[in-house]
Amino acid sequence: MLDGKRDGYGIVYCTSTNNDAWLYECEWKQGSPINNGRFIWIYGVKKWNQWEGPLMSDYLLTGTGSWQDEDRYSYQGQFKQGRFHGQGKYIYPNGDFYQGEWMNNNRTGQGRFTNPNVTSYDGQQKEEKQVGVHKYYEKQGVLTKKQDHK
């Protein structure tokens, strides 16, 4: 503490108005998080999410970082004010993944969805929906079809 405010490296535990628990581990300056850190949100019946990366004074990630939850969903890539925003890779528990552009937590822009055991497709996304022409590939990388998603 410095002048009554958090200063230096430390861990802070707090709860929200609905009794969700938040645990922040980072460097502090004049009461605000700076540099890289991580935080965990525990909610509901012991469910959790964890973020790691550059924390801003609003306690949200902005820059390159990662997110994961207890069900093994995860994201690695760019954030803007705590949301997936920019280039990133979202991985599902079964091993499927989407890698591409994000905007405000939505797949928006060019990207590729891959099922490592079967197929992949690439093309444009807009707010989680396929738009335009997408190319579909077999596991070996052979183009199988093109489909227009209008």
As a whole number, mean pLDDT of residues 118-146 equals 91
Percent of the chain with pLDDT over 90: 77
Q: Are 29 and 4 in contact (CB under 8 A)?
A: no
Q: Tell me, yes or no, whether 30 lies in a domain.
A: yes
Phi, psi of 74 (to 5 degrees): -150, 160
Helix or strand run (H / E) with residue 140: none
What is the count of structural domains for the chain?
A: 1
Q: Tell me, yes or no, whether 68 lies in a domain.
A: no
Note the pTM of the prediction, 2 decimals. 0.89
What token pair was written down for 11? 């861990």
Q: Tell me, yes or no, whether 52 lies in a domain.
A: yes
- pLDDT at position 59 is 87
As a whole number, mean pLDDT of residues 74-93 equals 97
Q: Tell me, yes or no, whether 75 lies in a domain.
A: no
- pLDDT at position 9 is 93
- pLDDT at position 150 is 80
Domain residues for 50? 1-60
Q: Tell me, yes or no, whether 98 lies in a domain.
A: no
Q: Are 90 and 97 in contact (CB under 8 A)?
A: yes
